[in-house]
Amino acid sequence: MPTLRTPALVLRAYDFSEADRVIVLFTQTLGKVKGVAKGVRRTASRLNGCLGWLSRAELQLAGRENQDLFRITQGQLLQSYPHLKENLPALGRAARMAELLFSLTHDHQPLPEIFELAETSLSLWDAGTDPNMVGTWFEWMFLDRMGYRPQVEVCQQCGNDTEHMSYHPETDGITCRACRPHGGIVLSAGTRKMLNKLIASHPTLLPSLRLGEDAQTQIQTLLDSIIRNHLGRPLKSDSFQRAVCDLK
């Protein structure tokens, strides 16, 4: 049986039998795949230490590239992100990221840029960078790379750039009040400038960026609307995010 080695992030895990577990992985080489870890539920398993949720590991997968279920035969933990997992706000944003990778990518669709975005985000959260800034950056970049990001520069109908624009889920961009005076998610000029800055910014600059309260609210409402529109439902991890906010 052919084998493949690839860096991978652990998105989910399911008990498969008395001793085995199915692991949902987002890999650098193959995109999202599932693998069975034989005997991993036994404490003596050598795979135990590298398949924790949101861990990054170098894994050896046995099987052909397009099969439904690989066998995980070897693994080496690369990073467990311990500081991230002790930070509830960061963990809440990371849970959203994991659900987006699970729900809005297709099996066996290689997305190396998305893998790098996720890997970078986990490292930034682990380093203590503002959870909301990193989460906002990841989600906006993810939507951009997946082709879901709306145009937020000028009005889609008249081409004007005014102080306040609005986004409507059924459109691919924003409109001014003259073209569509009612409804939608209002985005101020400052918020749209920040969204454009996020797309252009190298991740090393994120610790120096700041989101004002109004901009954070507008951007989060925008992100939630776009995701809900493409997913057909709100993210399930939002309930965890709300619980985290209640604890703050």
Please state the domain extents for the chain.
3-79, 84-247
Domain covering 84-247: architecture: Up-down Bundle (1.20)
Strands 185-188 and 164-167: antiparallel
How high is the pLDDT of residue 242? 64
pLDDT tens figures, 148-191: 999 998 998 899 888 889 998 887 789 998 988 788 999 999 99
The Cα 202–Cα 135 span in angstroms is: 15
Residues 88 and 240 sit within 8 Å (Cβ to Cβ): no
pLDDT tens figures, 108-141: 999 999 999 999 999 999 999 999 999 999 999 9
Name the CA radius of gyration of the chain, rounded.
20
Residues 63 and 70 sit within 8 Å (Cβ to Cβ): yes
- Of residues 244 and 88, which shows the higher confidence score? 88
Domain covering 3-79: architecture: Beta Barrel (2.40)
Residues 21 and 35 sit within 8 Å (Cβ to Cβ): no
pLDDT band at 246 (very low <50, low <70, confident <90, very high): low
DSSP symbols for 31-55: EEEEEEETTTTSTT-TTGGG-STT-
pLDDT tens figures, 193-243: 999 999 998 999 999 998 889 999 999 999 999 999 999 998 988 876 665
- 84 φ, ψ (degrees, to nearest 5): -55, -45
How high is the pLDDT of residue 241? 65
DSSP symbols for 127-190: TT--HHHHHHHHHHHHHHHTT-PPB-SS-TTT----SEEEE-TTSSBEEETTT--S-SEEEEHH
pLDDT value at 244 more than 60: no
Tell me the longest C-alpha to C-alpha distance in the chain.
Answer: 67
